[in-house]
Amino acid sequence: MSSSIGIDIVEFEEIKERLSDKFIHRILSERELEKYNSITHTKRKISYLAGRFAAKEAYTKAYKQFDTPLNFKDVTVLNDQTGAPYIVSTYRPKDTVLISISHSRNFAVAMCSIEE
Active-site residue (options: 16, 25, 35, 103): 103
Q: Any catalytic annotation for residue 103?
A: yes
Nearest to 34 by CA among 24, 19, 43: 24
Q: Round to whole Å and give the CA distance between 10 and 89.
A: 21
Q: Round to whole Å and give the CA distance between 19 and 101.
A: 20
Do the Cβ atoms of 65 and 76 come closer than 8 Å? no
Q: Any catalytic annotation for residue 25?
A: no
Nearest to 73 by CA among 10, 112, 22: 22
Active-site residue (options: 61, 64, 73, 94): 61
User: Catalytic site residues?
Assistant: 61, 103
